[in-house]
């Protein structure tokens, strides 16, 4: 079945008792036990296992092409579970341009867990290869990267990793399974901040990890989910499934809008540079074309001038809301360098855009008048 059909039916079932088309939310934290001590329906306690969470996990695993999915209370809880699943002494390679939550975790917490790490330029295979050590267990990819929209070649990197027995995880938050299928390109794990496009309405916090196959790493992630308890709650799982039903229409429009915004900004006299892999002069354009079905709805651009100028452009927009996060129906604009750690390499004149579902000419006009003000 096509992924768009699967998505349209997310969270739907033919409930034998009521005939309901949409699955109910199971809020119960505990479940009946038989007099012989067994749990014949498989549910014991909602931290371990919950019918609504299960349905979400099974659906996302199917859509990503994985054997297992574990869901969490946020994208960072999912990230944390992957790192915690590694044995102390492990070495991890992370991108030099990546969501700053991972940078913070690496800088401030990996050491406490006995995990060492190196940063690599994920657009350069030699740079990654040079950083692999006998202790390396995991390569972390985010493509397009945040906020510079760099493109990593998932297939080549997973081939390199396999030669060294190293796992590869891809953060697919920005692309969703509709735009990119890392497991089909050789990755072992996919992670999502469900908070963004999957839920899609800026009103759910959640995370998920999908494993291509049951491995010691995926089993360890499942153990951490159950034992540490940062699980996705049933209402968030239900809201996420509701969001996923309209993902393909939302994302199509958002991607079209983003492409138009990128082209408009690329021709604007007050813009220094636009970072969007859909532009033919983007250094990762040809790889993006191969591994993505569309170029996404996120982009960043550098204004001519310094941080003050970028702040003043963001201050003038009326339709673009000034806020962090992404993937909702409303367009957002954000000065990234000032929200990232001090070590951030993000240019001070860079603004990141999450493109929503508004009428595209309204978005173009809003940016044009903010730039001219
Ligand atoms: C690419 C990416 N990965 C992970 C996360 C973390 O997700 P959450 O905020 O749900 O913890 C974010 C959050 O912005 C993100 O943008």
Rounded distance between C-alpha atoms, residue 371 and residue 373, angstroms: 6
Same domain, 251 and 338: yes
Ligand 1, atom 10: nearest CA belongs to which residue? Answer: 75
Closest CA to 159 of 185, 127, 124, 191: 185
User: Is 47 an active-site residue?
Assistant: yes
Ligand 1, atom 3: nearest CA belongs to which residue? Answer: 193
Same domain, 251 and 238: no
List helix spans (H) across the chain. Answer: 3-8, 51-64, 75-84, 100-108, 125-131, 154-163, 176-179, 216-228, 234-244, 247-266, 285-291, 307-316, 360-372
Q: How confident is the model at residue 303 (pLDDT cuts 50, 70, 90)?
A: very high
Looking at the structure of the chain, the number of domains it has is 2
pLDDT over 70 for what percent of the chain? 100
For residue 135, give Cα distances in angstroms to 88, 114, 138, 337. 10, 12, 9, 32
User: Is 36 an active-site residue?
Assistant: no
Ligand 1, atom 9: nearest CA belongs to which residue? Answer: 75
Query: Of residues 68, 153, 171, 188, which has the active-site annotation?
Result: 171
Q: How confident is the model at residue 361 (pLDDT cuts 50, 70, 90)?
A: very high
Rounded distance between C-alpha atoms, residue 198 and residue 190, angstroms: 14
pLDDT one-digit tens code per residue, 94-105: 999 999 999 999
**Residue carrying the six token digits 């001519």:** 304
Question: What's the token pair of residue 363?
Answer: 């978005």
Same domain, 275 and 144: no
Same domain, 285 and 259: yes
Torsion angle of the four alpha carbons 26, 30, 34, 38, in this order, in degrees rounded to the nearest 10:
100
Domain final position from 216, 244, 272 = 244
- Among 196, 198, 201, 243, residue to substitute to test ligand 1 (most atoms within 8 Å of Cβ): 196
Dihedral of alpha carbons 175, 177, 181, 183, sign: positive
| Ordered DSSP codes for 161-174 | HHHTT-EEEEE-TT
Q: How confident is the model at residue 343 (pLDDT cuts 50, 70, 90)?
A: confident
Of the given ranges (14-28, 64-78, 171-185), which has the lowest mean pLDDT? 14-28
Same domain, 232 and 306: no
On average, the pLDDT of the chain sits at: 97
pLDDT one-digit tens code per residue, 190-244: 999 999 999 999 999 999 999 999 999 999 999 999 999 999 999 999 999 999 9
Ligand 1, atom 7: nearest CA belongs to which residue? Answer: 75
User: Is 99 an active-site residue?
Assistant: yes
Check pLDDT > 90 for residue 359.
yes
pLDDT for the residue numbered 351: 98
CATH number at residue 78: 3.40.640.10
Query: Of residues 53, 181, 196, 250, which has the active-site annotation?
Result: 196
Same domain, 204 and 307: no
User: Is 171 an active-site residue?
Assistant: yes
Rg (CA), the chain: 21
Same domain, 172 and 276: no
Rounded distance between C-alpha atoms, residue 373 and residue 368, angstroms: 9
Same domain, 238 and 285: no
Ligand 1 centroid to Cα of residue 268, in Å, is 30
Predicted model pTM: 0.98
Same domain, 182 and 302: no
pLDDT for the residue numbered 232: 98
Ligand 1, atom 12: nearest CA belongs to which residue? Answer: 193
Q: How confident is the model at residue 17 (pLDDT cuts 50, 70, 90)?
A: confident
CATH number at residue 264: 3.90.1150.10
Q: What value does the mean pLDDT take over residues 308-325?
A: 98
Domain final position from 244, 261, 287 = 244
Collapse the DSSP code of 127 into the 3-class scheme (helix H, G, I; strand E, B; otherwise coil) and give the result.
Answer: helix
Q: What value does the mean pLDDT take over residues 161-184?
A: 98
Same domain, 174 and 309: no
81 close to ligand 1 (CB < 6 Angstrom): no
Ligand 1 centroid to Cα of residue 299, in Å, is 16
Ligand 1 centroid to Cα of residue 18, in Å, is 37
**Interior CA angle at 171 toward 102 and 184, to 5°?**
155
Q: Which domain holds residue 257?
A: 247-372
Same domain, 238 and 301: no
Domain final position from 194, 210, 244 = 244
Same domain, 227 and 107: yes
């Amino acid at each position: 079945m096509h992924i768009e059909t699967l998505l349209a039916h997310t969270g739907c079932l033919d409930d034998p008792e009521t005939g309901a088309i949409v699955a109910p939310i199971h809020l119960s934290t505990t479940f009946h036990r038989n007099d012989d001590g067994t749990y014949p329906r498989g549910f014991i306690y909602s931290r371990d296992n919950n019918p609504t969470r299960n349905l979400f996990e099974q659906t996302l695993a199917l859509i990503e092409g994985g054997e297992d999915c574990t869901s969490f209370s946020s994208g960072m809880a999912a990230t944390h579970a992957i790192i915690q699943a590694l044995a102390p002494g492990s070495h991890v390679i992370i991108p030099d341009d990546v969501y700053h939550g991972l940078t913070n975790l690496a800088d401030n917490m990996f050491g406490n867990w006995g995990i060492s790490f190196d940063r690599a330029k994920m657009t350069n295979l030699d740079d990654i290869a040079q950083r692999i050590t006998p202790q390396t267990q995991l390569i972390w990819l985010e493509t397009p990267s945040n906020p510079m929209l760099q493109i990593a070649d998932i297939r080549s990197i997973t081939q390199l990793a396999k030669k060294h027995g190293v796992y590869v995880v891809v953060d697919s938050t920005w692309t969703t399974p509709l735009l990119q299928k890392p497991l089909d390109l050789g990755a072992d794990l996919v992670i999502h901040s469900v908070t963004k496009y999957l839920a899609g309405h800026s009103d759910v916090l959640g995370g998920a990890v999908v494993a291509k196959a049951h491995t010691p790493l995926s089993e360890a992630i499942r153990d951490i989910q159950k034992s540490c308890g940062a699980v996705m709650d049933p209402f968030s799982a239900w809201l996420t499934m509701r969001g996923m039903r309209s993902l393909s229409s939302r994302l199509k429009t958002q991607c079209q809008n983003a492409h138009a915004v990128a082209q408009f900004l690329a021709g604007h006299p007050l813009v220094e540079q636009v970072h969007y892999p859909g532009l033919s002069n983007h250094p990762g354009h040809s790889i993006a074309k191969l591994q993505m079905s569309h170029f996404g709805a996120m982009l960043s651009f550098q204004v001519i001038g310094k941080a003050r100028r970028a702040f003043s452009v963001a201050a003038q927009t009326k339709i673009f809301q000034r806020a962090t996060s992404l993937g909702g129906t409303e367009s957002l604009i954000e000065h990234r360098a000032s929200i990232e750690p001090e070590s951030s390499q993000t240019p001070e004149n860079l603004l990141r855009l999450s493109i929503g579902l508004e009428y595209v000419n309204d978005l173009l006009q809003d940016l044009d008048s903010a730039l001219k003000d």
